[in-house]
Chain A
Amino acid sequence: AQKITQTQPGMFVQEKEAVTLDCTYDTSDPSYGLFWYKQPSSGEMIFLIYQGSYDQQNATEGRYSLNFQKARKSANLVISASQLGDSAMYFCALLNYGQNFVFGPGTRLSVLP
């Protein structure tokens, strides 16, 4: 069975500092994708970054990078130079191809001025 764990229900970070949001997953399928989404208070689900299980390099998208450690089954999101607008709920999701997304419970990030 697929499972996603996000152990940090809430995180605080000072503006302009980097923050790491943890995500561990469990799957027996060798082919899968890992996704991070941002959900601001307005409710929409914003795609941030994607990592395929066979990708050799860690994914990066602007200030977002994914620290993918396949052997440990972890896919932590790193946000560099935090901004006040980064305050939101962050979801990690696992997709086994041919199946559906499984979402973690989320981490609420608060960026402090």
Chain B
Amino acid sequence: EPEVTQTPSHQVTQMGQEVILRCVPISNHLYFYWYRQILGQKVEFLVSFYNNEISEKSEIFDDQFSVERPDGSNFTLKIRSTKLEDSAMYFCASRGTGEAFFGQGTRLTVV
């Protein structure tokens, strides 16, 4: 079964530090997404990416967030200056023409 891979699985960082979350989507997929889920709460949309460009972003995705596809395969989410409220599970998703698969998530803890 196709698989989306996210690294690291866990990240602990100090408030104000930059973090980079990485995702390897499914190779022939064209649509990519980042979502987050604060513990016990709903799954929230951050940003979608198509054809090497951001196609949509939410209010959460402010100037401290950025997304890149640096080498045509990996897909990164950068948080420039982390805040305590950024602590959450971050999911990358990859979609082809139908099914969409999520990675196993990166659990980010900001202390």
Please report A residues at the B interface, Cβ cutoff 8 Å: 33, 35, 37, 43-47, 50, 52, 91, 93, 95, 98-103, 105-106
Contact = CB atoms under 8 A, between A and B. Distances in A.
10 contacts: A33-B100, A43-B105, A44-B103, A47-B100, A50-B98, A50-B100, A95-B95, A98-B55, A100-B48, A101-B45
Contacts of B55: 98
A35 B96 CA distance: 13
Contact of A45 (B48, B105, B107): B105
A44 to B, nearest CB: 4
B105 A44 contact: yes
B102 A44 contact: yes
Contact of A43 (B56, B89, B98, B100): B89
B65 interface: no
Contacts of A44: 102-105
